[in-house]
Amino acid sequence: NTRAYILGDGDQVQPEGVAGELCVAGRGLARGYLNREDETAKRFVADPFVPGERMYRTGDLVRWTTEHGIEYIGRIDQQVKVRGYRIELSEIEVRLAQLSAVQDAAVAAVKDNAGNTALCAYVTPEDADTESLKSALKDTLPDYMIPAYWVTMDELPVTANGKVDRKALPQPDIEAQSAAYKAPATEMEELLAAIWQDVL
C-alpha cells in the first residue's frame, strides 16, 4: 500500500541511475505538518500518477539502481548551480571522504569576487595537501565539480546532533586563492591576448 517515485524536473520519472527527488504516496501518508500550513502545501502535493491522491516530497535526492534498489545521494537543498551545471555537493563530499589524506570533508557554494557561484572544499586534517587532493578528485569527477577554493581545518564545526554546521564554515580567502596574472610567454599567446583585449 505504498508507492515510491523518483522524480526529476516537471515530475518526470527518472530512468535508472539518474538522480531525482524521492516522493512517497499511499495509505500511510500523513495529512501534513501540524500547524505548518506553508510547509504542508509545499511538501504534500497532488500525486501526478493517481488522480485524487497526494504524495509527499521528501527532499531526499536518490537514484534507482538494479543492484542496490533506491540509493540515497543527499538532500535536494544541497544542490547548487555552478557554471550552468547542477551539482550535488554531497557527491563531491563522498569522493573527498574516500581519499586517504582526508579525515572529514564538507563542500559549500560561495561567491567569488565577481559575484559568481564557486565551490569551496573544507577538509581535515589541517596539513592536507590541497593540490594533491585536487589532482586525485580529477580522476573521478569532471572539471566543473572540482572546488575552486580550499580551507583546511583541525575539525569541522558540527551542530548539536552531530551534523556539519554549514553556517559556521568560514569564508575562504578568495583573494589569496585567486589565480595570479601570468603574462603571455610566446608570440602566439601575445597575439591571442591582444585579440581578446580588443574584443573585451
CB atoms within 10 A of CB 98: 12
Model pLDDT, residue 178: 61
Q: Is 12 helix (H, G, I), strand (E, B) or coil?
A: coil
Rounded Cα distance, 186 and 200, in Å: 21
Q: Which residues contact 16 (CB under 8 A, 6 or more apart)?
A: 63, 64, 65, 66
Model pLDDT, residue 176: 67
Model pLDDT, residue 114: 79
Tens of pLDDT, residue by residue, the chain (200 residues): 899 999 988 899 999 988 899 999 999 899 899 988 988 998 999 999 999 999 999 988 889 988 889 988 777 777 788 888 888 888 899 899 889 889 999 999 998 877 888 999 999 987 778 889 999 999 989 999 999 999 999 999 998 888 888 889 998 887 766 655 678 889 999 999 999 989 98
* Domains and their CATH numbers in the chain: 2-75 (2.30.38.10), 83-177 (3.30.300.30)
CB atoms within 10 A of CB 81: 10
Model pLDDT, residue 26: 93
pTM to 2 decimal places: 0.58
